[in-house]
Every structure is written in C-alpha cells, then in structure tokens.
C-alpha cells in the first residue's frame, strides 16, 4: 500500500495506489490456467448441450430481490444498495432473479416454446461483517414446454462440466422430489405436527421455519436439528401420482445417461422450488462443500411475476470450482490451439505481418500474433505454449523480398516461401 495523502479538505485520505475492494475478485485468465479452464469448459459444455448465453444487468430494482427472497429474512439485509437514482436499486447478490425476470419481462414465452439459457457472472453481497462477499456464479435454465428428459439433460450438462474439469470423482449428486405446491402443503402440516413436540430441541432458525416453511428445517446445518429428522415423515409418502411418475421418469433418464445419483428424501431445495430438486456436493479430503443446487423454479416465477411459468435450472459457484481445482492440485493444459503463430521481427516486418494476419484469418486460419520486442527464440517458445503447429517468421530481409519463413514448430524444420504462396501452403500443411 502506498503512502496516503490528505484531500483539499484535510479530513480524508486517499491511498496512492488504490486496491480492489476487500472481498472483490479479479479474473485474469491469461495468467491463470485454472480460471481459463473453468470458463472455457463452461462455454463448450453449454454449446454442446444447446444452451444459449444470456447476460443480465449488474443492477436491479431492489424489489426484485425482496420478492425473490421474501421468505429468507437474512438475504435482504445482505443486499448492497446503490445511491441516489430514480428507483431503489441494488447490486445483484445472485444472477438467478435477473434471469427469471429477463424471461418474463421480454415475453420470451411468446417467441419460442422452449428456451435453454446459460449464464455466468459476478454476484456481490454483504457478509456478516458488512464486507463485500463476491462470487462468480454460473447456471443453466430451462423455460417453457419441456419434460423430464430435458430436465435430465440439464443435469447431464452440469455433470459433464464437472467431469471435463476432472472433478467428477469427488462429486455426488443427491436428488429428491418435494412435489407440487398441494403436496408440499399437506406434507408440511404433518412435518410441523411432528416437530412441534420437539421445538425446544430445535435451533431458533428452525423454530422460525416451522411458522413459515417447515421444509427449511432440512436445510439447517445444525447436527442436533438434523438428528431430530431421522424418524420424520418423508415427502415421498405425500407425493401425488403425477409427481411420483415424473420422479420415476427422471431417475430412469439419469440411468440412461449413466449419471450416478443418491436418493435423499431429506433434501429440500430453497424456498420457491417444487418437484425435482437436486444438489451437487464435492468431498475433498474430509471436507464436503456444495457446488450448487437445482430444481423446478415455478414458485419463484410466481413470486416475481405473478404467473407460474415453467422453469427448471441449476445455479452454482464457478469460484468454488476454481478453488477445488487448486485444492486438488489439478494441472490443466492451456486449452488454446492456434493454427499459426506469427513472428514478426522489426518495424517493417511487423507492418507487413499485419497484411499477412488479415489474409490468414480471411481463410479462417486462427492466428496468434506478437507485435512486440521479443526475440525470435522467445516467440517460438510461445508458439509451443499456444499449441500452434506452424510458425511464420518474417524479418527485415523477408519483408523487403516479399518472403516468409515457414517453420514446423514440432520438428524445427523450416523453409522460405514467397508471400503470394504462403497462405495456400499453410492450408496444405493444415490439411484444408
């Protein structure tokens, strides 16, 4: 930290070097191979499974979050409000509320019967000490007309992401069905009756849940509270025929996909969830963490827009995925391949190389260029890092003679080729 200086008023201090806010994150994938791996795998898996990217604002009307978290008393005080603007706004503590709002506000349901979205981005909230707690979230969401097969496929996309990052071995998928709203209402009355005689053994938060959403008792981390649930009635005994059939179908679909799962009748998703609910946990050494949760979000849509649009999705922490890769000492190769590494040497060669760069990309040949002062040895070393099989070298003499040196990066063999034939030769070497 640099030395501080007084402002003109003499009452405040400004640091000479201004750091990021405590708790905020930087993502610099150029020098962080793990972050690069997480973000690129997320993009690849989303594309393969047919999910389209959606971007939502960093700021939203505060009422959106108050509606979303209406039964979560701790979440609203954690919001980071924004100063004087026309409407009360807050920085997003999660991306899911914005994604759900974006669907109904833009009337996507009138434009397409099925929407498959994925998203990622920063979320910020206040922690217990009123510091910033930042996370980089990701998620997948289905909207519209879909069935259990589409739900299983979404779970498959999440599972594929973990597998592609090498985290599949420590991951566990737990799944349950908490039924439709009518099933939940009947079950929660029975659960409340069961727990009412044990309320003095429950923590304060669980006693509050008994009055609002008894299902939240299952989400309590207190071991004493969990012990009381061992003999509690399970939601599966209160499901209607439609919910039973839906749950059986999705389990059979997961079997077809070869995705291992554990039935957990004592798992309930967050408020606003219904039907299929699932959670993905990861165990490293003796510590188990939650990567994310998913399920049907029909209740959340009802909270936000007053209509029960069908939605099903998963929201997780990309920051946690990166931390798990670090903890497991995972080494990832840079997932970046270029067809050609361009090596210009000197001012004239660099200018000529701009034209060569343009001619190559016009033929859909991917090029990594380095218009800097590094010598040829360092640049050829970088060609290996970026997995380029071919390096094109142009020095002062080659630039004047309209020639290019083509080098096979792996073997080190090279030859001089005239500029007017170099693109055709590169395509030939690449098998195009």
Mean pLDDT, range 96-105, rounded to an integer: 95
Mean pLDDT, range 171-182, rounded to an integer: 92
Contact 406, 356 (CB under 8 A): no
Mean pLDDT, range 409-432, rounded to an integer: 90
Q: What digits encode the pLDDT tens for the residues 139-166? A: 999 999 999 999 999 999 999 999 999 9
* pLDDT score, position 377: 65
The overall average pLDDT reported for the chain is: 87
Q: What digits encode the pLDDT tens for the residues 308-348? A: 889 999 999 999 999 999 998 877 666 556 788 888 888 88
Mean pLDDT, range 54-71, rounded to an integer: 90
Q: Is the dihedral of CA 91, 97, 100, 101 positive or negative?
A: negative
DSSP 145: S
Range name among 97-106, 252-261, 262-271 with the lowest pLDDT average:
262-271
> What are the domain boundaries of the chain?
12-180+240-327, 340-429
The answer on pLDDT for 14 being more than 80 is no
Going by C-alpha positions, the residue among 151, 117, 157, 120 that lies closest to residue 138 is 120
This prediction's pTM:
0.83
Q: In what order do the strands lie in the sheet with 403-408?
A: 367-369, 340-344, 390-394, 403-408, 414-418
C-alpha distances out from residue 409 to 135, 356, 393, Å? 40, 19, 11
SS3 31: coil
pLDDT confidence bin for 296, thresholds 50/70/90: very high
Query: Higher confidence at residue 8 or residue 416?
Result: 416
Superfamily of domain 340-429: Anticodon-binding domain (3.40.50.800)
CA atoms within 13 A on the CB side of 82: 16
Alpha-carbon gap, residue 341 to 395, rounded angstroms? 14
C-alpha distances out from residue 308 to 94, 147, 176, 185, Å? 21, 16, 21, 17
Range name among 1-5, 31-35, 112-116 with the lowest pLDDT average:
1-5
Quote the tokens at residue 200.
């003095």
Query: Higher confidence at residue 375 or residue 388?
Result: 388
The answer on pLDDT for 271 being more than 80 is yes
Mean pLDDT, range 338-365, rounded to an integer: 87
The answer on pLDDT for 302 being more than 90 is no
Q: What digits encode the pLDDT tens for the residues 188-238? A: 899 888 888 888 888 888 888 888 888 888 888 888 888 888 888 888 888
* pLDDT score, position 334: 60
State percent of the chain over pLDDT 70. Answer: 91
Q: What is the third-level CATH fold of 12-180+240-327?
A: BirA Bifunctional Protein; domain 2 (3.30.930)
**3-state SS, one letter per residue, for 252-278:** HHHHHHCCCCEECCCCCCCCCCEEEEE
DSSP class per residue in 162-229: HHHTT-GGGEEEEEEE---HHHHHHHHHHHHHHHHTTGGGS-HHHHHHHHH-GGGGGG---HHHHHHT
Alpha-helical regions (H) of 363-413: 376-385, 396-401
Mean pLDDT, range 173-192, rounded to an integer: 90
- Cβ neighbours around 175 below 10 Å, total: 23
SS3 233: coil
Contact 374, 393 (CB under 8 A): no
* pLDDT score, position 1: 45
Alpha-carbon gap, residue 177 to 243, rounded angstroms? 8
Going by C-alpha positions, the residue among 276, 264, 271 that lies closest to residue 215 is 271
């Amino acid at each position: 930290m640099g030395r501080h200086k007084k402002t003109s008023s003499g009452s405040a201090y400004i640091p000479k070097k201004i750091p990021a806010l405590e708790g905020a994150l930087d993502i610099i994938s150029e020098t962080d191979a793990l972050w690069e791996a997480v973000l690129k795998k997320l993009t690849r898996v989303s594309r393969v499974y047919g999910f389209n990217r959606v971007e939502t604002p960093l700021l939203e009307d505060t009422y959106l979050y108050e509606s979303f978290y209406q039964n979560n008393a701790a979440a609203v005080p954690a919001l980071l409000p924004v100063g004087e603007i026309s409407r009360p706004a807050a920085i997003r503590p999660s991306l899911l509320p914005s994604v759900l709002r974006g669907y109904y506000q833009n009337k996507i349901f009138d434009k397409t019967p099925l929407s498959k979205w994925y998203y990622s981005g920063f979320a910020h909230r206040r922690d217990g000490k009123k510091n910033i707690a930042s996370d980089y979230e990701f998620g997948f969401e289905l909207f519209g007309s879909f069935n259990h097969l589409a739900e299983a496929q979404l779970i498959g996309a999440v599972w594929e992401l973990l597998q592609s990052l090498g985290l599949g071995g420590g991951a566990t998928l737990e799944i349950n069905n908490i039924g439709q709203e009518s099933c939940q209402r009947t079950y929660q009355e029975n659960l409340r009756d069961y727990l009412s005689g044990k309320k003095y053994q429950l923590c304060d938060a669980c006693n509050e849940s008994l009055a609002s959403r008894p299902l939240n008792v299952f989400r309590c981390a207190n071991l004493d509270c969990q012990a009381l649930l061992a003999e509690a009635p399970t939601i599966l005994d209160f499901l209607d025929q439609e919910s039973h059939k839906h749950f059986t179908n999705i389990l059979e679909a997961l079997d077809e996909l070869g995705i291992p799962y554990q039935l957990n009748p004592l798992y309930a998703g967050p408020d606003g969830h219904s039907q299929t609910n699932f959670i993905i946990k990861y165990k490293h050494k003796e510590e188990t963490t939650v990567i994310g949760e998913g399920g049907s979000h029909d209740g959340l849509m009802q909270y936000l827009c007053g209509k029960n649009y069908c939605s099903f999705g998963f929201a997780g922490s990309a920051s946690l995925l990166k931390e798990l890769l670090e903890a497991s000492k995972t080494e990832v190769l840079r997932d970046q391949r270029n067809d050609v590494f361009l090596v210009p040497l000197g001012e004239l060669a660099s200018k000529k190389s701009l034209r060569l760069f343009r001619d190559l990309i016009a033929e859909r040949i991917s090029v990594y260029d380095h218009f800097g002062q590094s010598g040829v040895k360092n640049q050829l070393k970088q060609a290996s890092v970026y997995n380029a099989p071919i390096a094109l070298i142009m020095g002062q003499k080659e630039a004047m003679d309209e020639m290019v040196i083509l080098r096979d990066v792996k073997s080190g063999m090279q030859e001089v080729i005239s500029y007017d034939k170099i693109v055709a030769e590169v395509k030939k070497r690449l098998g195009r």
